[in-house]
Structures are given as structure tokens and as C-alpha cells.
Chain A
Amino acid sequence: MLKFFRESMEKSYAPLHKPSISAQASKIRMSLSENTFYIRTRCGNSVDISMRNVDVSGIDGFFLYCDGMCNGITVNNNVIEPILKAENLPQDPKGKYDAIRDRIVGEVDVKELIDLEEAMQLSMSGFAIFFLDGVDRALAFSVQGFETRSVGDPITDVQARGSREGFVEHYKINMTLIRRRLMTPDLRFEIQELGVTSRTKICICYLADRVDCEVLCQVKARLVSAEYDVVLSSGNIQPLLDADKPAIFSAVGVTERPDVFCAKLAEGKIGFIVDGTPYALYVPHVFTEEFQSLDDYATRPYYATFIRILKWLSFLFSFLFPGFYVSMGVFHQELFPEDMLFQILSAEMQTPFPIMVEALIIHFIFEIMREAGLRMPKAIGPAVSIVGALVIGDAAVTAGLMATPMLIVVALTAISSFVVPSIYEPVAILRFLFIIVGGILGFYGIVIALGLLVTNMSSINPYGVPYTAPLLPATPAAARDTILRVGWKHLSKRRLETTKLNS
């Protein structure tokens, strides 16, 4: 049965691997016409691919570039014009080619190519490729000039005292943002390509003097073995880097901020910048990092500690509180003081649903509103807010469909879950699970589920680092920057090495 489903699913999807072209077939040929034919066949009639024929002192050549990806002025002024106006070029094609490569075009970076596929790919990356008849090589001139978003405020990761720069879509700009903060020769960038069709550039970043080589090898091996057709965002490769076991929380960190990214690299982690997305990834990531932020290090230790504790409590509150409330209403009424119990009883008696069902419905409605708020056009935002507040908040209660205490629970839970927005997704699902467990098995079920959750989190050991470190297993030295944040005098004595947290 399972085999039947698997086979029918596979039939619906196209095979991932395209027939590969042999290296021999895509080698640049001596004959310009053959090269031109190959390129025209591969690219078809795509209007953004430009092929311009030129005459270089009697020998034919042509330029291949992508409209919109190149800076037109740079192409004309710094590449084509110098080549066409060059004097005293050797007569033979090879000599002409060498002269162009070495001395004619000096203002832009030049790369030599032997493969037509590579040439086409570079042309789509903003390079201008020059072919000369009689030479089995090509020159790629770096003349990128495509439109990119300027560096601005990070949208998701807001810090009160952090910098206002966030990553952008182009990986080279991101690399610059990182290099500006870590001006050390130990900072390394390595590029890998993922995606058979998209050939997306993944930039692996690390500090050579503190990275764990074993982890680096593991990470590279994972990337090499990946089979993707297109990679359009960092989320596509996140599962690739995540722990192998099914887990509720992700063991890959995500950030939009270069300062946070650099801080992680300084701890010996390995970062990934994916071209086309402003969200960078880093591994190994531990759970306690969700509750750390740069602002903690910019404020006084006592306040930073207070905020950390607040975050931890909010996290627990956000997924446990509805379950607790439901279990208390269904099983453990003795926990309520009598006056509160009377009010809750009066409110709940008017509603048609049992408490557990009511909790599930209202939390589901909240998720609908949250998702709608995220996706809807800004122009109709206020209208939806009014609908949400009036319909859910007031009308439902007045009509007796929902009880007021339940709305208070939802409101508090919702606010708490946005204190640590990076783990909102797993918390939202856990909330539903704990409501069901609390409604069916009471406190005891919640406790068992909590035990199972902790065990599941403890079982994640991505790259040999326990996900629950440094709390479980407890590492006293690392714990000074977990729930507490000690002063800089102590923090600056020894830096944290994440990869050494296993025990």
C-alpha cells in the first residue's frame, strides 16, 4: 500500500536530474560560429541575452551579456571600446587574445573561461563574455550593474541599540557587511552552488582560527550531497543543515543582522549567506540563543538578566498557559480561588462549547487573524483590525459564544508569544497540542507532554553540540550568559566556544 502511494507520488513529479552535458561537449571551440551556434541553441530566443558581433582588427569576435544584469556604460566604455580601439595588436588570434586579456582592458576584473556552460552562467550573473574566432578560450569581464535593494533596517530582528544595517539579497554586499565588522584575515568565504536550475550561490563563512574543522567538513559534505532544483531562499537549505531526527525546534539559527551574524562567527559557528535572500543561517545553533539578543550586551547586566528571565517566562507562558487554564477548568477546579471560580463558572455556563473546544476555536481564530495580518495589503490593515477586535473581542462575548476569561487567556498568550518571535512557529503548534492534552488528561498529561518535549529537545545533537546546551548538560562557564548575563569583566575573560559545549 505504502509502495503504491510512493510510486504514484513519484509519477506526479518531474525527475530532478537533468541530463548532464559532458564537459567535452561544452568546451569552448576554436570556431566562433560553433560557439555562437551552441549558445543560440541553449539560450533560444530569450530577449535579455545579448550577443554582439565585433571586429577586432580583422578577426571576428562577439560579446555575450545579459541586459539588465550588466552596467551598460561600463560594458561600452571600459570593455568594448578599449578592445575595438586597441592598436598594435598582434596579428594572430592567440596573440590578440592574450593582449586583450593582459593589457587592453585594465579597469575591470577579468577571468578566463574554457567552458561554454560556465560562460553562459557567468553572463547571467552580470559578466560580459568575450569570444574571439580562432581561440578556444573566452574572457569574462566583471561588469555587474543589476538593481539591488540598498542596505536598510532589518525588518524581523529589531534591536533597540543595534545597528540599522540588515542583510540584502545580493551576497556580495552581505559579504562586505561582514568583512567590515570582522577585519581579520581568518575570516573566510567559500562559495558553493546549489540548485541544478537556479545555481544559487551559497557563501559559507567562518573564522578559520576558531571553527571546528570536523563540523565544517560535515557541513560542506551536506551541501555537496544536496539535490535541489531551485534554491530561492535560505529556508530551502535550512532542512539540509538541520538535525537528522524529527524535532519540534530547528537547530539552525536565522538572522537578518550582520552584527548578530558576526557574533555567531566569533563563537566558532559556521554561517551561510544565500544569494537572493536577506536571511542568513548559522550552525550549530542551541536553544538558549533564542533568548539572547544584542541589546542584552548593550544594557546593564541586572536589566539584561531581568529581560532574559522575562523572555524565558514568556516562552513558557505562551504555550503552557492555555493548556493549564483548560486543564484547571476541566479537572482541577480546586486551584481557582472561589470568587474567580464563580466568575469563570458563570461565564462558561453561558457558552455552548466545552472549555477545550472553546480554547481551540479561539486560538485558531487568532492564528487566522495573525496570518491575515501578515499577508494582507497595508491599505486594508485597519479594516481587518476593526473586524477582529469587534467581532472576536466584543460580539462573540456578548452573543455568548465565547467566555471573557478565555479571551483574556488568548490575549495574554498572544502577547507573550511575540516576546520571542523567532520561535513563534513551534510555540503556536505546541500551544494547540498542550490545549488538547490538558483538556483530555489534565495537568498530568501536560507534564508528560512537557517531559517528552524536553527529551525530544535533548536528543538533538546537531554537529555534536547538544541543542539544550548549556542548560542540559549544564556547563557552568557557559551558563553565565544563559539565563543570567554577567558583567563584561567576566564575559570578556573567556569567549564561548559553542562546539565545545558537548559533554
Chain B
Amino acid sequence: MKAKITMIVLILISMCFLFTGCLTSSLGVDETIVMQAIGIDLDFEKAEYKVTIECFDLSKASGGGKDGVEEKPQYITTYGKSIEQAIMNTTKITGVNPIYSQNRVIVFGDSILKNGLEAGFDVFIRDYRTRSSTPVVAAKGFTASDVVKAKSEGLSAFPASTLQAIVKSGKINSLTKEVTVMELVKMCEEKTTAAYIPAITLVKEGDDYKAKSDGIAILKDRKLCGYLDSNETRAMLSVINEIESGTVTLEKSAVGISTLEISESKTRVKMEITPDGNLKYIINISSSLDLMETEFRKDCELTEKEIKMLKKDVEKYIKHQVDGTLNKCLVEYRCDPFRFGQRLWQENPKEYRKVSGDWEDVLPNIQTDVNVDVKIRRIGRHGVK
């Protein structure tokens, strides 16, 4: 009996496989275009979204890859009333479905960011084909289409990979920060937090434009509020304890122009309520740096006194940078990318309940006390006098 049932079931399962046409939406790898980057702008004239897609160009492909295949990107520009429609309109040009799973980066142009993310972002959260780990980037001063089409300068032949690498370079230089779709949504969902995304700009070299990282773009209520340049970005990252590596260059220090590499950085933020009812955040930044370069003097060895003075200079510099960034964000932009509101919510829900409704008005009155403690651990291959 068991054998009979087994046979019947196996036959039924096999029959199910016959319905392959309607069973699954398989896109064979040879029946698609593989999206590598997507740039989104708002075309005000047409009142439509302009979507620029970078994908594989297989026109150079040879059979079996025996003679080597030249990797070359292809760019497709389409329009649509929504981003999803614009992407689907690529099928009018290519005749095949695009696949999103290899998408390296999403670039938003100024036009979208100034208008607000509401109109242009839902597709990346709702559509099943998009991935929440895709980095998001703002095109600073240029359209997203220009950034997507910019010439690649990295190791890969695909500009999208280079763009992605530029965004990830924040781990190396702390001058930018990779923000994925998931992280952006998380920041937008938080009531008091201002979201931010890394900014990419273009620099002209001859006839070509090349992509370059240029700080971050701050979004308030999902709209572009302003930009922080690279140094301000680093200062912001040090407040939120996101510094992994990077360098600090002092133009004027006890030993002249110096560059120090950050080997370790930890930030602790404490929150207090002052007697007059204002919020105060004490930001303690503790960093270990290694001196990598200074002026080439006759006498290369530094004295202990010089090192101590250098340490003070670095501390002053970092404090100045952080204070400047805090002022710019809290006072000038009236936004909170540092998640001070989130911290208040966690530590003092009652107080948070009072102020969360008018958080924007509270921000300029927030007091900050930045304390920087720097340790210069190594001074390179030269010794101490």
C-alpha cells in the first residue's frame, strides 16, 4: 500500500512540473538585462521620472568566452509616471526583463531629494525584487543620470562597482558613510532623527567627468535639507561613534603640517537635563592616532614636548570640527542626524514625550559639551628624542 501511494504521489509531483509555464516566474540568465546602477531624477518639463540604468553590454560577448569578453557598461534612459513604470519601460527598448538583484547603487538626483523621498522611494521598500542592502547615494550638484554615466576610475570596468566602492570607502577614510535602503528607512521612521545619505559629485578631467565622494546629504522630513562636506562628515561620524579608520590633517600644528591616522575612536554620549530644563549632551571622544607625516626637518625625531603639543592641537582641531558640525546641524539646519532624540527617548521617555512634538524648536537650545581625548600612540619609524 505504501509503495502504491508513493508511486501515485511521485507521479502527481512529476505532473506538477509539467506546468512549468505558469508555475514560476523564472528569468533565465540569458533572458534578462542585469541592472548594475539606477539613477533617478525628476524631469519637471515632462512631469515624469527619468530613470537611467547601467547594465551589462553583451554585444561584445563571444561564444563560450573563449577569447575573453570585454566588459562594457550599457546605459538605458527611460521615463515614466512612477519609477516602477520607468523601469518597466526599459522593456520597450531592450525587449527583456531587467533584474534588480545585482543592483549596486541607487542614485537620487537633487530634483528628487528636494521634492521629498515620498514620491521616489517606496518602490525600493515595497517591490520584492529590490534588496534592502543596496546603498543609496545623493548626486550633489549634478543629476543622477550624470553620476551614473560618469567614467569609472576604479578596478572594475563597471562604474557602478566603483560608485559602490566610493561609498564603502567611508570605512577607510571616514569622510563618507554607506547608507543602505534599510538604514535610510530606519532613520526616516524615527520621529526625531534626520536621515542622511552619502553625496557623490563629479569632477571634470579633460572631456570626462569622474565621480568623487563629497560628504553627506542631510534629509529633514525626507527632504533635502543641506550638505555636510567631508570634514564635517567625519566630525558627525565621530559623534555617532562610526569612525573606523581615516586621517586627520592639521595645517598648523606644533610640528608644522601633520597628518595622523586614526587607528581607533570611541565616542560616549551622555545625556543630562540642565537645571533650566534644557537638554545637554556630553560627548566624550576618545581616539588613538598614529602620526604618519609631518614636515621633513633636519632633525626628524620629535621631542616629548612636541608630541604633547601635537596632541593638544589635534584635540583642539577635532573639538573645533565637531562643535562646528553640531552647530551647523542643530542650529543652522535644525536637524538631528546624531540621534540625540532617540537617545532621549531611550533614557528619559517622560521628557521625550514632552519635547518630541516640537523637536525642531528644541534643537537649537540643546547644549553640547565636546571633550576630546587623543592618544598619539605611534609616531612612525622615527623615534622620540
- Answer yes or no: A214 CB below 8 A from chain B CBs: no
Query: Which listed residue (B2, B17, B32) contacts A440, Cβ 8 A?
Result: B17
Whether the Cβ atoms of A245 and B3 lie closer than 8 Å is yes
**Given known A-B contacts A330-B29, A338-B158, A436 and B3 have beta carbons under 8 A apart:** no
Whether the Cβ atoms of A333 and B34 lie closer than 8 Å is yes
- Give bound CA distance, A342 to B3, whole Å: 47
- Answer yes or no: B30 CB below 8 A from chain A CBs: yes
B277 to chain A, nearest CB (A): 52
The chain B residue with its CB closest to the CB of A355 is B28
Query: Which listed residue (B2, B24, B34) contacts A341, Cβ 8 A?
Result: B34
- Residues of A near B61 (CB, < 8 A) are 345-347, 349-350
Whether the Cβ atoms of A349 and B58 lie closer than 8 Å is yes
- Residues of A near B58 (CB, < 8 A) are 345-346, 349
- Answer yes or no: B27 CB below 8 A from chain A CBs: yes
**Chain B residue total in the interface (Cβ 8 A):** 34
**Given known A-B contacts A347-B64, A349-B58, A442 and B2 have beta carbons under 8 A apart:** no
- Residues of A near B156 (CB, < 8 A) are 338-339
- Residues of A near B158 (CB, < 8 A) are 338
- Residues of B near A246 (CB, < 8 A) are 3, 6-7
Query: Which listed residue (A331, A345, A350, A404) contacts B34, Cβ 8 A?
Result: A345
- Give bound CA distance, A192 to B164, whole Å: 75
- Answer yes or no: B69 CB below 8 A from chain A CBs: yes
- Answer yes or no: B346 CB below 8 A from chain A CBs: no
- Residues of A near B56 (CB, < 8 A) are 341-342, 345
- Give bound CA distance, A142 to B161, whole Å: 84
- Answer yes or no: A381 CB below 8 A from chain B CBs: no
- Give bound CA distance, A346 to B67, whole Å: 12
- Answer yes or no: A334 CB below 8 A from chain B CBs: yes
CB 8 Å contact bits of B147-169 with A (1 = contact, 0 = none): 00000000010100100000000
Whether the Cβ atoms of A342 and B71 lie closer than 8 Å is yes
- Give bound CA distance, A245 to B56, whole Å: 51
- Answer yes or no: A403 CB below 8 A from chain B CBs: yes
- Answer yes or no: B63 CB below 8 A from chain A CBs: yes
- Residues of B near A354 (CB, < 8 A) are 28, 30
The chain B residue with its CB closest to the CB of A402 is B64
Whether the Cβ atoms of B66 and A404 lie closer than 8 Å is yes
- Answer yes or no: A348 CB below 8 A from chain B CBs: yes
Query: Which listed residue (B7, B26, B71, B102) contacts A330, Cβ 8 A?
Result: B26
What does DSSP make chain A's interface, helix, strand, loop or mixed? helix
Query: Which listed residue (B6, B7, B66) contacts A397, Cβ 8 A?
Result: B66
**Given known A-B contacts A346-B65, A350-B62, A341 and B26 have beta carbons under 8 A apart:** no
- Residues of B near A345 (CB, < 8 A) are 29-30, 34, 56, 58, 61
- Answer yes or no: B47 CB below 8 A from chain A CBs: no
- Residues of A near B34 (CB, < 8 A) are 333, 338, 341-342, 345
- Answer yes or no: B303 CB below 8 A from chain A CBs: no
- Residues of A near B69 (CB, < 8 A) are 342-343, 346
The chain B residue with its CB closest to the CB of A247 is B6
The chain B residue with its CB closest to the CB of A441 is B24
- Residues of B near A397 (CB, < 8 A) are 63-64, 66
- Give bound CA distance, A338 to B71, whole Å: 10
- Answer yes or no: B15 CB below 8 A from chain A CBs: no
Whether the Cβ atoms of A400 and B63 lie closer than 8 Å is yes
- Answer yes or no: A329 CB below 8 A from chain B CBs: yes
- Give bound CA distance, A441 to B17, whole Å: 9
- Answer yes or no: A50 CB below 8 A from chain B CBs: no
**Given known A-B contacts A347-B63, A397-B63, A397-B64, A333 and B29 have beta carbons under 8 A apart:** yes
Whether the Cβ atoms of A331 and B2 lie closer than 8 Å is no
Whether the Cβ atoms of B6 and A398 lie closer than 8 Å is no
- Answer yes or no: A412 CB below 8 A from chain B CBs: no
- Give bound CA distance, A351 to B26, whole Å: 18
What are 8 pairs between A and B in contact, CB < 8 Å? A341-B102, A343-B65, A345-B30, A346-B62, A350-B62, A354-B28, A436-B17, A440-B24
16 more contacts with CB within 8 A, not counting A346-B61, A355-B30, are: A331-B27, A332-B101, A333-B32, A336-B102, A338-B34, A338-B161, A341-B102, A342-B34, A345-B29, A345-B34, A347-B61, A355-B29, A398-B64, A436-B17, A437-B17, A441-B24
Q: Report which A residues bind B (CB closer than 8 A).
A: 245-246, 329-334, 336, 338-339, 341-351, 354-355, 397-400, 402-405, 436-437, 439-442
Q: Report which B residues bind A (CB closer than 8 A).
A: 2-3, 6-7, 17, 20, 23-24, 26-30, 32, 34, 36, 56, 58, 61-66, 69, 71, 99, 101-102, 104, 131, 156, 158, 161
